[in-house]
Structure 1
Amino acid sequence: MLAAVDINGSSVVLAGTDAKQTALSLKKTPHFCPQCGCPVVIKAGDVNIPHFAHETYSSCDSFSEHESPRHLAAKIDLFNWITRTHDAVMEARLPNGSQRPDILSGTIAVEYQCSTISASLFRERTKKYRVGGLNPFWIYGGPSIERKGRYVKLTPFQRLFLRYHAQLGFYFISYCPDLKFFTIYGRIIPVTISLCLAVRLDVKVEDMPFPPSAVFLTEFTYPLAPFFDEKRKWIDQSLNYSNARNHPFFRTVYESGRNPHLLSEEIGLPVRSGMAIRNHAAEWQFYIAYDRKNGSAKEAANIVRRRIQKGHLKETIMPLAPMMTPEQAAEDYVALLKEIKIKRGIDSQSRGGKIRREEEFCLLHEKRIIDRLIF
């Protein structure tokens, strides 16, 4: 931890250019954990960043304990960055004493997270901040986003940090204390279960305003063809390397007398809130087409929720984008079909014919489909 209180209850923060000098001058002065009140000691060697630590093992529930040097360095950077323009408190103890944000500035609780934590803990901490009237602002500090050619690969843990903005779409913010810059991935659109298209922007810490904001100067011109290409690869891989008979999607397709390779083109399209469903778009959109009776948006939303309850689909946990739900994805999909005037497509008769129809579909509908991804 970087903050403690002295015997008079005054806060002491080990941040800034004189942090080590301050730490050395206070080493023999008693200090205490603001969370549990237990004694802490100052550690200020030649290698580690100056910080406070409990004298002995403690069950203190402070979330600032056991931090890596990377975490400590990032917190100092972020604190200095915020205090250039705003008042802020390092490791502020909240009135209810339940948790301590890394940095508190006004009603914004900044959390820098390097190590992986469970989705349930991430969601619980986010909820507690909101209940307390605070806006939780999580910044990712773990391993870099993995790239796969033109795509990025987001792990379930990384997806916890996703937010949504009308102009940025789904976006993700990380900070690297080694390079001293933020990386923002915006306009994130899922292409397969794990791969996404995204626009990347690197911003030096001194150039980033607080709260963070970003403008992507490149035009939003994702082509539609890669979605069809990757859907074809996903189907091939799923059928060749897994037991498709036990996969609820493929089992349902075959039981309906259809071929997953030849499904009509409107099954598997990208939609604005599709990230809310962990499965491939072809899966949940096929279920909507297969189960629907009247074709309404509400019916589609109910179909998706029922399939989630049956275990056929999985919901993506995104505590920072609560408005983006599987139901919203279903409603967006129905709205898209209405806009491009497709009620119920016809399956292809051959693989070659399927590819030709996809090319024709792109020529007719690509602009409308892509334009609907970002408002």
Structure 2
Amino acid sequence: MLAAVDANGIPVLLAGPDAKNTALRLKQTPHFCPQCGRLVVVRAGDVNIPHFAHESYAFCHSFSEHESPRHLSGKLDLFKWITRTHEAQMEARLPDGSQRPDILSGTIAVEYQCSTISASLFRSRTEKYCARGLNPFWLYGGPAIERKGRFIKLIPFQRLFLRYHAKIGFYIMAYCPDTKLFSIYGQITPVTPSLCLADRLDVNITEMTFPPSSVFSKDRHFSLSAFFDEKRKWIDRSLYYSNARTHPFFRAVYESGRNPYLLSEEIGLPVRSGMAIRNHPVEWQFYIANERKSGSIDEAAAIVRSRIETGHLKEAIMPLAPSMTPEQAAADYVMLLNDLKMEIRTDSKSMGGKVQREEQFCLAYEKQIIDRLIF
């Protein structure tokens, strides 16, 4: 923590070029956590930046996690960045004392999260901020998002930072105190349950506005034929590593007398809110295609929800994009089919025929599908 109070309740902040001298001077006087009221000690070594530390974190709800040097350094960078143009408080104490954002500027509560926390805690903190009329601005500060060739791999914790904006689709904002760079991963589109396509934009902290803004190219670097290739690879891997007889999707496909490789091209397409479901699009779209009767949006949404409740599909937890739900993904899929003016067609009869049909499908519909991924 970078802020504390002295014995008279006067706030003390360890920030700025003279922070180390200030910390050394304060070492001889008692200081206290403004949240729990317990004694804190001043740390001012040669490695980490000057800060206050609890002797024990067990009794402080706001600082129950030890702050790493990376977190302290990043938080200080962000505070300096924000106060260039806006008033802000470091580690502001909210009225009822149950929360303490890293930085509070107006109604924006900045949380710079480097260590992994549970989805339930992330969602609880977010909901509490919103209930107070605050806008929670979560910044990812953990290990760099892993690249897998042209894709990125998002672990469940990183997915908690997903937001949605009409102009850039799903996006994540990260900050690295070592490079002083914001990294914005935008236009994130799932290709498999773990891999996503994404555009990345790096902006130096000196060039970023607060609140942040970014501009991405309107051209999507997205290939529907490559998406179909990855779908085949996903089926290969899934069949190799799992028991097809017990896997809900493959069992349903085989019980219907069909082949997962030969399913019609309309089953397993990328849609705008597909991140809301932690399964491959071919899985949940097969359930819709196989079980629907009326073809309505409500029916598709009910099918997806039923499969989630039975454990055949997994709902993604995205506290910062609450409007993006599995039901919305189902709605987007039905609207995509309506926009393409097509029904679910019969399956291919051979892999050779399947490849030809996919090529024809891409030529006819790729642009419309990509256009619907981002408004």
TM-score (norm 2): 0.98
What is the aligned partner in structure 1 of residue 174 from structure 2?
174
Amino-acid identity (%): 74
- Which range is displaced more, 233-242 or 303-312? 233-242
CA distance in 2, matches of 1:212, 1:57: 32
CA distance in 1, matches of 2:50, 2:64: 14
Query: Amino acid of the residue matched to residue 47 of structure 2?
Result: V
Q: Secondary structure at the match of 1:237?
A: helix
Conserved 8 A contact 2:261-2:351: yes
Alignment of 1:287-298 (within 5 A): 287-298=287-298
CA distance in 2, matches of 1:283, 1:340: 20
Query: Amino acid of the residue matched to residue 263 of structure 2?
Result: L
The alpha-carbon deviation at position 64 of structure 1 amounts to 6.8
Query: Amino acid of the residue matched to residue 4 of structure 2?
Result: A
What is the aligned partner in structure 2 of residue 201 from structure 1?
201
CA distance in 2, matches of 1:64, 1:95: 19
Change (3 A) 1:58 1:299: closer
Conserved 8 A contact 2:58-2:64: no
What is the aligned partner in structure 2 of residue 92 from structure 1?
92
Alignment of 1:149-160 (within 5 A): 149-160=149-160
Query: Amino acid of the residue matched to residue 271 of structure 2?
Result: V
Conserved 8 A contact 2:57-2:64: no
Deviations 1:162-195 (A, max 9, x none): 0000001000000000000100000000001100
Q: Would you say 1:111 and 2:111 are equivalent positions?
A: yes
What is the aligned partner in structure 2 of residue 281 from structure 1?
281
Q: Would you say 1:215 and 2:239 are equivalent positions?
A: no
Conserved 8 A contact 2:57-2:63: no
The alpha-carbon deviation at position 223 of structure 1 amounts to 1.5
Change (3 A) 1:339 1:40: same
Conserved 8 A contact 1:221-1:370: no
CA distance in 2, matches of 1:73, 1:292: 54
The alpha-carbon deviation at position 131 of structure 1 amounts to 1.0
Query: Amino acid of the residue matched to residue 100 of structure 1?
Result: R
Change (3 A) 1:56 1:222: closer
What is the aligned partner in structure 2 of residue 141 from structure 1?
141
The alpha-carbon deviation at position 54 of structure 1 amounts to 2.1
Alignment of 1:51-90 (within 5 A): 51-56=51-56, 58-63=58-63, 65-90=65-90
Conserved 8 A contact 1:169-1:373: yes
Q: Would you say 1:45 and 2:50 are equivalent positions?
A: no
Alignment of 1:218-229 (within 5 A): 219-229=219-229
The alpha-carbon deviation at position 63 of structure 1 amounts to 3.0
Q: Secondary structure at the match of 2:196?
A: strand
The alpha-carbon deviation at position 57 of structure 1 amounts to 5.6
What is the aligned partner in structure 2 of residue 365 from structure 1?
365
- Alignment: residue pair count: 375
Change (3 A) 1:270 1:176: same
The alpha-carbon deviation at position 73 of structure 1 amounts to 0.2
CA distance in 1, matches of 2:123, 2:176: 24
Q: Secondary structure at the match of 2:373?
A: coil
What is the aligned partner in structure 2 of residue 327 from structure 1?
327
CA distance in 2, matches of 1:161, 1:241: 29
The alpha-carbon deviation at position 58 of structure 1 amounts to 4.2
CA distance in 2, matches of 1:266, 1:63: 50
CA distance in 2, matches of 1:276, 1:304: 11
Query: Amino acid of the residue matched to residue 313 of structure 2?
Result: L
Query: Amino acid of the residue matched to residue 133 of structure 1?
Result: G
Q: Secondary structure at the match of 1:186?
A: strand
Conserved 8 A contact 1:166-1:374: yes
CA distance in 1, matches of 2:125, 2:44: 30
CA distance in 1, matches of 2:45, 2:227: 53
What is the aligned partner in structure 1 of residue 345 from structure 2?
345
The alpha-carbon deviation at position 241 of structure 1 amounts to 2.0
Deviations 1:253-295 (A, max 9, x none): 0000111010000000000000000000000000000110100
Change (3 A) 1:344 1:55: closer
Q: Secondary structure at the match of 1:207?
A: coil
The alpha-carbon deviation at position 217 of structure 1 amounts to 3.2
Change (3 A) 1:56 1:350: closer
Change (3 A) 1:289 1:85: same
CA distance in 1, matches of 2:65, 2:241: 44
Structure 1: gaps spanning 5 or more residues: none
